Every structure is written in structure tokens, then in C-alpha cells.
Structure 1
Amino acid sequence: MLQFINPLFRKIIQGIASCTLCGIDRNHQHSLCKDCWQQLPWSKSTVQRQEMNIQVACHYDYPIDRIIQKFKYEQHLHFQNLLAGTLIELHLPKIQAIVPMPISTQRLLERGYNQSLVLAKIMAKQINVPVWQPVSRLQQYSQKGLSRLERLDNIEQQFQINSTSKLRYRRVLILDDVVTTGSSIHALKQKLEQLGCHKIYAACIASAET
């Protein structure tokens, strides 16, 4: 009996919870009220970076830019359902696994979590595919002052294939929070191709100007 009551109770609480953004109207979708959800800076389009098509849910404008910053740098994890919800709105292709953008051990220690992995787990549950992490990331350095070619070379050297990974998937989705130049996605894509991936797609919450 208790196993039935608890999920029902949670559903009732979610139904009367207030909007995460305005705090006034009732939670309607992905922790937002209907008006706040509709007023997000939606893009739902495809941008091309490094000769790769990347699906993006929103423009990197207010309030999504501030939400991402709080989620990524200030440990506001209550935004995870909202951000994952924007990605679910995309018309994603059929895939076998989701590959979250890896972060270095240093960044992981600083933040306490990989924001892309948090979102990937929610997405994977929604579309019933596994999260796959066959590539790790070494020390991440600042790109300031570097030319375009130097930036690409610097980023490509940050990624390495995990020798312990035995799984293989042919159709995968790279998941990241924000795309600017697309250099990180391109570098990760190259490693996945080395692992035998034939179809590599990418999706981000938002795209920012390069």
C-alpha cells in the first residue's frame, strides 16, 4: 500500500508546486509554468560548427543563459529537469547511446559533477538508451590568445579513449550544454569515430555566438 501512496503523493505535490522561475503560477511543464516555458528563448534549430550539424533547443539569451550558469557553476541542480526538458523538445534521431561531453578531473573536483552527464542521465531514461562514456578529458586549459588552429589542436589533445571501455555503439548522440565554436564536440566526434561510431549526432541546450 505504501509503495502506491508514495508515488501518488509525489505526483500531487508536483502538481501544486510553483514555477521554478516566477514562483507564482503552478508548475506546468518541466518545473515551469506555461507562460515561463513558452517565453524561453527557443531556437529548436540546427547550427553548423566545424562542418557538423548540431541541434540546439534555445538561443543563449536570458533567462536560459543565467539558468545554465547557475546550474553549471553554482550547483543549482534543481534546474536539471528544466534544462533536460528543453532537449527533449528537439526532434532527435534514433540512437543507441548518449555520450555526455566529458570534463577533466580538475573541473569535476571544482564543480562536484559533470553537468552534461546529469542531463544525459535524464535524457537516457526518457528515450530508453544507455549513457556511454568511452572518452575521458585531460587537463582543460584556457583558449585565450590562441589562433583557431592552435585552439583546435589544444582541444583535440585533451581527449583520450578509455582503454577499459569494451562497449561499442554505431549511432550515438553527443550531449553538451552550450555550443560556441564547436571545437570540443568536433574533438569528441573524432575519438568516437576511432571507436567505430558511424553516425554521430550532437545536441545542446543553447548556442552562443562564436
Structure 2
Amino acid sequence: MFQLISRILQKSVQSMSNCLLCGIDQQQYHSLCNDCWGHLPWLKQHIIRHEQQILCAHHYQFPIDRVILTYKYEQQLQYQNLLAHSLLNLRLPKVQAIVPMPISTQRLADRGYNQMLIIAKIMAKELNIPVWQPINREAQHSQKGLSRIERIENIENQFQIISTERRKYKKVLIIDDVVTTGSSIHALIQALNKLGCQQIYSACIAAAD
């Protein structure tokens, strides 16, 4: 009953709020008006990186590129609903848990939050599945001057299994914000394989060229 009342109140507030992008029309779709939601740079397709299929919601183009950057680096958390529902708008596979892309302890301290964990929690609530974080990420070092193989090894070494994690899931969904080379997703998949995951899917908010 409380959840129903909360949703009704949330929709009432949204109906009185202006679109986060144009600032003119009222919010209708996850903090945006109808026109702005429809004119986002939708992709809704799989791309291939490291022989891994990654389902992507958008092209990394305006305005979604600016939204991601301000959400990620400028603490503009009002965009979390828009970004979460961009992923929820995809035909996602049925899985047992969501795995947000980990960030290092240093980056967490600098930023104050893991941007993908916030989105994962919204998605997990909608899909009625848990968020699973069985992997830590060590300090992320510069890739400058490294060969392709050295870059891959460098990233793979960043992901470390949490030995105290007791939960196990066989079918999981990795989520990330922007995919370029796909190296981080590839490395996270390798770590999850060691935990016994048998079906690992990946979804990203935007795909960069």
C-alpha cells in the first residue's frame, strides 16, 4: 500500500515538473517530456566488442553524452531515472542478478558514488532481482604507451574477486555507462566466469565509436 501511494505521489510531482532537457514541457517519460524522450539518440542494438555482444540503448551523441558526463562527474543525480530507464527500455534478458561496473576505491572517494550502482538499484527494484557486487576494482592506472595485449592484461588485473562473497548466481547482467573498446566489460566477464557464472549478459547506456 505504501509503495502504491509513493508511486502516485511521485507521478504527481513529475506531472508538475518541467522536462530536464528542454525545461519547457512537463515531464512524461522518466524526467523528460514526450518529444525529448523520443528524440534521444536511440540505438537499441547489440554491438560486438572482444567477441562479446553488448546491448546498447543509445549512440554516444548529444544530449545523452552530456547527460552521462554531468551525472557521472558533476553529481547531477537528477538524471538517474532517465539513464536507468534507458536501459529498462531495452529487451533485457531474464537474469538472476544485476552487476554494476565496479570502480576503484580511489575513484569512489573522489566522486563520492558509483554512478552505475545507483542505476543498478533502480533497475533491480523494477525487475525484482538483487544487485550483486562480488568483484572489487583495484586502482585504475594509465594505459598510455601500452600495447593492446598489455592494455588488456592491465585491465584484467584490476578486477579482484571478493573472497567473503557467499552469494552465487549463474545468469547475470553487467551494466555500464559508456562502451568504447569493451575492455572493462571483457575483464569483468573473465572474473565472473571464475565465480561460476554460466550466462553473462552486458548492457550499456551508450556506445561510442
TM range (shorter): over 0.9
The structural deviation recorded for 1:149 is 0.8
Matches within 5 A, 1:21-40: 21-40=21-40
The structural deviation recorded for 1:15 is 1.4
Give, in whole Å, the separation in 1 of the partners of 2:24 and 2:174: 35
Partner of 2:64: 64
Partner of 1:77: 77
Give, in whole Å, the separation in 2 of the partners of 1:4 and 1:32: 22
Kindly indicate whether residue 130 of structure 2 is the aligned counterpart of residue 126 of structure 1.
no
Kindly indicate whether residue 158 of structure 2 is the aligned counterpart of residue 155 of structure 1.
no
Q: Which amino acid aligns with 1:119?
A: I
Kindly indicate whether residue 54 of structure 2 is the aligned counterpart of residue 54 of structure 1.
yes
> Equivalent residue of 2:43, what SS?
strand
1:166-190 deviation digits (Å, cap 9, x = unpaired):
0000000001001111111011001
- In structure 2, do the counterparts of structure 1 residues 100 and 40 end up closer, same or farther at CA, with 3 Å as the change threshold? same
Partner of 2:86: 86
> Equivalent residue of 2:55, what SS?
strand
Q: Which amino acid aligns with 2:34?
A: K
- In structure 2, do the counterparts of structure 1 residues 129 and 8 end up closer, same or farther at CA, with 3 Å as the change threshold? closer
Partner of 2:171: 171
Give the number of aligned pairs. 209
1:39-79 deviation digits (Å, cap 9, x = unpaired):
11000000000110000000000010010000011100000
> Equivalent residue of 1:58, what SS?
strand
Give, in whole Å, the separation in 2 of the partners of 1:119 and 1:58: 16
Q: Which amino acid aligns with 1:151?
A: R
- Structure 1 residue runs without a partner (length 5+): none
Give me the CA root mean square deviation.
1.7
TM-score (norm 1): 0.95
Q: Check conservation: 2:14, 2:28, Cα contact below 8 A.
A: no
Q: Which amino acid aligns with 2:51?
A: E
Q: Which amino acid aligns with 1:54?
A: I
Q: Which amino acid aligns with 1:197?
A: C
The structural deviation recorded for 1:5 is 7.0
> Equivalent residue of 2:109, what SS?
helix
Percent of residue pairs identical? 61
- Structure 2 residue runs without a partner (length 5+): none
